[in-house]
Amino acid sequence: MAVNRVPLLAGNWKMNLDHLQAIAFVQKLAWTLKDASHDVESAEVAVFPPFTDLRSVQTLIAADKLPIAFGAQDVSMHDSGAYTGEISGAFLSQLDCTYVIIGHSERRTLHGEDDSVVAAKTAAAVKHGLVPVICVGETAEDLEKHGPSAVPVAQLRVALDGLGAAADIVVAYEPVWAIGSGQAATPDQAEQVAAALRSVIRELLGEDAAARTRILYGGSVKSSNIAGFMREPNVDGALVGGASLDVNEFASIVRFQKHVGV
Ligand SMILES: O=C[C@H](O)COP(=O)(O)O
């Protein structure tokens, strides 16, 4: 992790925690981090609740001035109109979302989102002032056929197409085989792909964007393995699924990365 990029530890709740549970969770997370004297300058903490929780989370964080960022798990590529079930980036901006996850492997696999949809959603997020957390990653089959970097690099190339150099983005490398499997990539594997992804950002968006963009690793991250990832120069944080649903475990992930002095 380079010193000029503030690490981002992000919890993707997926379809877990209703709005009442979300309030209790965020309160407890804030207390736990405060008790541990978490320094917000040393690492940014973000949660990604379901859409129906966002208003409650926004209200709580604003009222208590909690040092926790938040975002949505998806966004429509459209601004408004007859798109039943879709949520516009404009709506998310009005709820003070900072981030939105785009192209998570579960959206790609279960909802048929291809690279062109991911690119359109990325553009919509940027248009509405949201920071897209662009997810890329290879399946086990891709890994065997093409090696670790080819598919994530190709996915990112399409997602970044048409973005300006000033676009504020986060990239999450999530090997599909590591998600929810308990079998995380090694820090070396994550670093190899993250370095390749940073080269793509440099090529398409320029040196400044490459230097400032945070690249996260995701896939079976826990408090027991976060330190290894955070020692890698091109890994700037984590997108955490299952382990982010346990307040103490998530807080340990956030705190542990601080202790490694990055
Ligand atoms: O968005 C998070 C990823 O899907 C990782 O999930 P996981 O930490 O449960 O493996």
188-218: pLDDT as tens digits: 999 999 999 999 999 999 999 999 999 999 9
Residue type, 134: I
Residue type, 44: E
Q: Is the pLDDT of residue 259 over 70?
A: no
CATH of 8-20+34-46+66-255 among 3.40.50.1970, 3.55.50.30, 3.20.20.70, 3.40.50.10860: 3.20.20.70
pLDDT, residue 34, reads: 87
Catalytic hit among 44, 174, 191, 232: 174
Q: Is the pLDDT of residue 2 over 70?
A: no
- Residue 60 near residue 87 (C-beta atoms within 8 A): no
CA distances from 241 to 10, 195, 254 (A): 9, 23, 14
φ, ψ dihedrals at 214, nearest 5°: -85, 135
Query: Is the pLDDT higher at 24 or at 39?
Result: 24
H helix runs in the chain, sequence order: 19-35, 54-64, 89-94, 105-110, 115-127, 140-146, 150-160, 187-205, 207-212, 226-230, 247-259
Give the position, in ligand 1's atom list, of the atom nearest the Cα of 221.
8
Q: Which of 138, 168, 166 is nearest to 153 (CA)?
A: 138
Determine if ligand 1 sits within 6 Å of the CB of residue 226: no
pLDDT, residue 261, reads: 45
pLDDT, residue 88, reads: 98
For residue 218, the tally of other CB atoms under 10 A from its CB is 28
- Does the interface predicted TM-score (ipTM) exceed 0.95? yes
pLDDT, residue 257, reads: 66
Over residues 104-126, the pLDDT tens digits come to 999 999 999 999 999 999 999 99
Over residues 139-179, the pLDDT tens digits come to 999 999 999 999 999 999 999 998 999 999 999 999 999 99
Determine if ligand 1 sits within 6 Å of the CB of residue 253: no
Determine if ligand 1 sits within 6 Å of the CB of residue 74: no
Q: What's the pLDDT band for 35 if we cut at 50, 70, 90?
A: confident
Closest residue to atom 8 of ligand 1, CA basis? 241
Q: What's the pLDDT band for 256 if we cut at 50, 70, 90?
A: confident
Q: Ligand 1 centroid vs 180 CA: distance in angstroms?
A: 6
Dihedral angle over CA of 22, 90, 165, 241, nearest 10: 20
Over residues 60-93, the pLDDT tens digits come to 999 999 999 999 999 999 999 999 999 999 999 9
Please, what is the average pLDDT of the chain?
94
For residue 88, the tally of other CB atoms under 10 A from its CB is 18
* d(C-alpha 21, C-alpha 23), whole Å: 5
Q: In this structure, what token pair is assigned to residue 108?
A: 């790609």
0.90 exceeded by pTM: yes
The structural domains of the chain, with segments of one domain joined by +, span 8-20+34-46+66-255
Give the position, in ligand 1's atom list, of the atom nearest the Cα of 174.
3
Catalytic hit among 104, 106, 128, 138: 104
Determine if ligand 1 sits within 6 Å of the CB of residue 244: no
104 catalytic? Reply is yes
Q: Ligand 1 centroid vs 242 CA: distance in angstroms?
A: 6
pLDDT, residue 262, reads: 41
Q: Ligand 1 centroid vs 235 CA: distance in angstroms?
A: 16
Over residues 5-20, the pLDDT tens digits come to 999 999 999 999 999 9
Q: What's the pLDDT band for 1 if we cut at 50, 70, 90?
A: low
Determine if ligand 1 sits within 6 Å of the CB of residue 187: no
Determine if ligand 1 sits within 6 Å of the CB of residue 180: yes
249 catalytic? Reply is no
Over residues 126-136, the pLDDT tens digits come to 999 999 999 99
Q: Is the pLDDT of residue 46 over 90?
A: yes
